[in-house]
Amino acid sequence: MEQDFTTLVMALTYLGAGLAMGLGAIGAGVGEGYTAGITVKGMCRQPKMQGELLRTMLLGQAVCESSGIFALLVALIMLFSGEKANTLAQAAAMLGGGLAVGASAVGGGIGTGIVSAMACRSIARQPEVTGKVTGTMLLGQAIGTSPSVFGFIVALILVIPMQEFETVEKAVALLSAGIAMAIGSLGPGLGIGWIASRACIATGLRPLSQALVTRTMLISGAVTETTSIYSFVVAILLIYMT
Amino acid sequence: MDIEIGPTDVYQPIPHPFFLINPTTIKMSWYIIIFLTILVIFVRLKLKARPGRLQVMLETVVDAFDSLCKSTLGDRGRKYLPFIGSLFLFVWMSNIIGIIPFFEEPTKDANTPIGLMLISIFTAHISAIRIKGVKEYVREYFEPALRIRGIWIPNVLFAPLNIVGECGKAISMSFRLFGNIFGGGIIILVVSSLVSFVGLPPFLGLFLGLFSGTIQAFVFSMLALTYTAVATS
């Protein structure tokens, strides 16, 4: 094909960047707001603990924000290095990358937000177990962000390398890789957040059984994560095997 | 507006992709290291029973991190205090150095956060191996394992998931710092080009640099501490 796709590529790049940041802001916003709300309630219940609560809240919110930060990075990369692309497949890759990182940040953001919120609630109820609950929270959030990390990796693969593919099939494959990762990581992110939030509450209620709770959380989190790994594998196959 | 992703200038002494040097980042990192070293030695030599302002400031930081290390790691906490404390001080100075004109944050270059992340992850894993032994460390990757009549059967299915989880921690830790500082820099650039003659950007720089930079430095060092605690428990 001897057509010049520069205009189309620019248009789709802008669309992808907008979608990435717009969708990516949802999860982090909801999650951080929920955490802050529960923390305020906890401070009201336990005014002595406000220092600890503030620390845990900031820590949890920062982890929660990381999926939004991934979206911001990909959007910036697309905006500032998108001019080099000039084939149809690259245009589709831009849009797919934006979708992948944006939508995968929704699940991860909301999920990790629930975790830090429940950790703050747990600390407000049981001030003695702050250290244990913070550990459980960070572990849970680390598994909770992994779907967004997959989305980020797929988006980087789609956005950065400029391969010379010009077929329509390749364009559709790259776009579908983005869609697979985008939709596939919504559910696991929320699900892991749910598991880890319950684990934080359980650790607060029964600090002695923290080892058992953490182990169960890790097992079930890994099982829940499997579906997002399927999407990741399918996305990688779509990118490299078509 | 001319914005680049990555280092602002690149020097290549030998024509090979692995020998790229970013002079600005290295210069700024060395400024911070020299400044911190001189400050700390100066305060150390003038320790007084009735502390002055500088001494109180540094004592507050050391005290806060000492109690954090103790509450997270228990009796072993003191051993990690120098590492966690200097990690915080370095990242903190790196994040807020941008508010001084003609200075650039070293953390705005993705290489610095990734390097710091590698140091922290390395520390966590080496401490885990030293405390638990190689056998127990490797065994953890095959958890949750099956135990049938007391015989330990490695769970091969979960090993890749555990490794992916470790990589995810590492990626999100370094890119969180990089993204926050880099995004802050972009916001200041965009606002400066929009309002050329209004004195808004310095205040925005104060907010993004001081407030968000301090929080990110704290979060980074806390994550290094907690990952060490999780790996060694």
Looking at the predicted structure, is the pLDDT value of residue A85 above 70? no
Better pLDDT: A132 or B3: A132
Better pLDDT: B196 or B192: B192
pLDDT at A51: 84
Q: Is A231 contained in some domain?
A: yes
Q: Is A139 contained in some domain?
A: yes
**Rounded distance between C-alpha atoms, residue B61 and residue B75, angstroms:** 20
Q: Is A47 contained in some domain?
A: yes
Chain B residue numbers touching A225 (CB-CB < 8 A): 161
Looking at the predicted structure, is the pLDDT value of residue B19 above 90? no
pLDDT at A71: 92
pLDDT digit string, tens, across residues A149-207: 889 988 988 887 656 666 778 888 888 999 999 999 889 999 999 999 999 999 999 88
Mutate to test the interface with B, among A32, A66, A141, A227 (most CBs of B within 10 A): A66
B161/A145 touch (CB, cutoff 8 Å), yes or no: no
pLDDT digit string, tens, across residues B148-185: 777 777 777 778 878 887 888 888 888 888 888 888 88
Better pLDDT: B206 or A213: A213
| Residue A116: domain span | 6-241
Which ipTM value was assigned to this complex? 0.74
Tell whether B178 lies on the interface with A, counting CB pairs under 8 A: yes
pLDDT digit string, tens, across residues B79-96: 999 999 999 999 999 998
Query: What's the whole-number mean pLDDT along residues B35-63?
Result: 90
Looking at the predicted structure, is the pLDDT value of residue A87 above 80? no
pLDDT at B189: 79
Looking at the predicted structure, is the pLDDT value of residue A84 above 80? no
In chain A, the residue whose alpha carbon lies closest to the alpha carbon of B3 is: A80
Among A144-148, B28-32, B99-103, where is mean pLDDT lowest? B99-103
pLDDT digit string, tens, across residues A99-127: 999 999 999 999 999 999 999 999 999 88
Chain B residue numbers touching A153 (CB-CB < 8 A): 171
CATH at A19: 1.20.120.610
Phi, psi at residue B47, to the nearest 5°?
-60, 135
CB contacts < 8 A (A, B): 93
Better pLDDT: B131 or B211: B131
Question: How buried is residue B102: exposed, middle or buried, by Cβ count under 10 Å (0-12/13-18/19+)?
Answer: exposed
Q: Is A25 contained in some domain?
A: yes
pLDDT at B109: 83
B226/A226 touch (CB, cutoff 8 Å), yes or no: no
Q: Is A1 contained in some domain?
A: no
Instruction: Indicate the number of domains in chain A.
Output: 1
Query: What's the whole-number mean pLDDT along residues A14-38?
Result: 93
Q: Is A23 contained in some domain?
A: yes
- For residue A145, give the nearest of B161, B168, B222 by CB distance: B168
Q: Residues in chain A whose beta carbon is closer than 8 A to a beta carbon of chain B? A: 58-59, 62-63, 65-66, 69-70, 72-73, 76-77, 80-81, 130-131, 134-135, 138-139, 142-143, 145-146, 148-149, 152-153, 215, 218-219, 222, 225-226, 229
A76/B143 touch (CB, cutoff 8 Å), yes or no: no
Query: What's the whole-number mean pLDDT along residues B97-102?
Result: 82
**Closest-CA distance of chain A to residue B53, Å:** 24
B171/A152 touch (CB, cutoff 8 Å), yes or no: yes
Looking at the predicted structure, is the pLDDT value of residue A43 above 60? yes
Among A236-240, B27-31, B194-198, B224-228, where is mean pLDDT lowest? B194-198
Chain A residue numbers touching B162 (CB-CB < 8 A): 222
Query: What's the whole-number mean pLDDT along residues B55-73?
Result: 88
Query: What's the whole-number mean pLDDT along residues B57-85?
Result: 88
Looking at the predicted structure, is the pLDDT value of residue A2 above 60? no
pLDDT at A160: 75
pLDDT at B1: 46
Looking at the predicted structure, is the pLDDT value of residue B2 above 60? no
pLDDT digit string, tens, across residues A50-72: 888 988 898 899 888 888 988 99
pTM confidence score = 0.81
